[in-house]
Structure 1
Amino acid sequence: MEWKKCYLDVVLVPLGFLTCVGYHVWLWHKVRTQPLKTIIGTNASGRRLWVSAMMKDNDKKNILAVQTLRNTIMGSTLMATTSILLCCGLAAVISSTYSVKKPLNDAIYGAHGEFMLALKYVTLLLIFLFSFICYSLSIRFVNQVNFLVNCPQENTCLVTPEYVSELLEKGFVLNTVGNRLFYAALPLLLWIFGPVLVFLCSVTMVPVLYNLDVVFTSAHGKVDEIKNNDFGSV
């Protein structure tokens, strides 16, 4: 009887999780092989050019560099604060005896036992905790860039644009990992109400993330742009 209750949880939740993992494995391969066809690779290339331009003309653009990095730190700080607050809330729910921990057995599918309920909340807690760690490390690297990007470029200077770009990329990679962990927690939040919603939400997130991660180029649009430029020059 207990296996029958857990059947949907054992099948649908790992299936939805593997769907998200499979998509991100494909995305990682795409970024490694064809970076300019993804938003992540295109933005990484632009950030390297940005660091080089900021450090090359540091006297005129130092304020712009600091303000841009400050906005990045503020965004990561907001997400880190949100993650740790959710961790505190989940920890309070796990250690409490409130009725919120007791789902409506007639309204949802899947297992309703104490072990399965604890597994749901502990999984969410761990994901938000790892997300917080990624955001915190991202803030650390971007803070380092905030100082190094204003270093004067001398012949004997060890702080080169390439070194600063590598630090900035580490910060943004950690920020991206934190974002993806935060997104992965959204389907698991629905696990409280049953495994069916987890699977449906995971499958729905894949095409949404695909449209946000891939750069779509239209050959027809490029031809039209060239024609418009030619007509404008005439």
Structure 2
Amino acid sequence: MQDNEKKNILAVQTLRNLIMGSTLMATTSILLSAGLAAIISSTYSVKKPLNDAVYGAHGEFMVALKYVTILTIFMFSFFCHSLSIRFVNQVNLLINTPPDPMSMVTSEYVSELLEKGFVLNTVGNRLFYSAMPLLLWIFGPVLVFLCSVTMVPVLYNLDFVFGNGQGKIMNRNGEIGDFV
């Protein structure tokens, strides 16, 4: 929060990029939710496939369960991204507040707000990613399995940093430690 020459522009740009990413994910989540809600409320019926063993059950209850589950996850993803935008916007405003010993705005407070924003962004992204295999659940269990088998290694590689043949993991404080 101190003026460290021109390095403060990097912090503001990083926060702006996080807000833009959260806005994109929130918009995508709410658009998919609206599309699913339109499908649920319409009289459109999905044709029953020839073989339920390959394509999954398509009874009225199962179709309703699939759509409501996916809709709920997308709505929670939207909620997390919206709150993330709120917290990061507050940080964006408060980061330029001049330090004052009598002020309630301390670097610890701004740091807590930033951490809440990042955690909500991560949770929103995870919910969105977990909804992708469930979206394919509409078409049957085979696509869910293939999507899940593909997503697990991709998300694993995003969470863990590998260097020199050893697994490393980043903790809440941003420190990198050994993977046990």
* Coarse TM-score class (shorter-chain normalised): 0.7 to 0.9
| C-alpha distance in 2 between matches for 1:150 and 1:91 | 42
Identify the range of structure 1 (134-143 vs 154-163) with the bigger mean alpha-carbon deviation.
154-163
Match of 1:207 among 142, 153, 175: 153
Which amino acid letter does the alignment assign opposite residue 64 of structure 2? A
- Provide structure 1 residue ranges, at least 5 long, that are not aligned to the other structure: 1-54, 221-234
- Aligned residue in 2 for 1:153: 99
Aligned partner of residue 216 in structure 1, secondary structure? strand
Are the equivalent residues in 1 in contact too, given 2:80–2:124 (CA < 8 A)? yes
- Provide structure 2 residue ranges, at least 5 long, that are not aligned to the other structure: 167-180
What stretches of structure 1 move > 6 A for 4+ residues in a row?
none
Match of 1:72 among 6, 9, 18: 18
Are the equivalent residues in 2 in contact too, given 1:105–1:112 (CA < 8 A)? no
Please show how residues 69-108 of structure 1 align to structure 2 within 5 Å.
69-99=15-45, 101-106=46-51, 108=54
Greater share of strand: 2
TM-score, structure 1 length as denominator? 0.65
Per the TM alignment, residue 171 of structure 1 is displaced from its structure 2 partner at its CA by: 0.3
| C-alpha distance in 1 between matches for 2:16 and 2:24 | 12
Which amino acid letter does the alignment assign opposite residue 218 of structure 1? N
| C-alpha distance in 2 between matches for 1:134 and 1:173 | 9
Change in CA separation of 1:68 and 1:117 when aligned onto 2, cut-off 3 Å: same
Aligned partner of residue 159 in structure 1, secondary structure? coil
Per the TM alignment, residue 203 of structure 1 is displaced from its structure 2 partner at its CA by: 2.9
Question: Percent identity over the alignment?
Answer: 78
RMSD: 2.1
TM-score, structure 2 length as denominator? 0.82
More RCO (CA 8 Å, sep 6+) = 1
Per the TM alignment, residue 158 of structure 1 is displaced from its structure 2 partner at its CA by: 2.8
Per the TM alignment, residue 58 of structure 1 is displaced from its structure 2 partner at its CA by: 5.7
Change in CA separation of 1:147 and 1:59 when aligned onto 2, cut-off 3 Å: farther
Which amino acid letter does the alignment assign opposite residue 49 of structure 2? L
Are the equivalent residues in 2 in contact too, given 1:103–1:193 (CA < 8 A)? no
Greater share of helix: 1
Per the TM alignment, residue 91 of structure 1 is displaced from its structure 2 partner at its CA by: 0.3
Per the TM alignment, residue 61 of structure 1 is displaced from its structure 2 partner at its CA by: 4.5
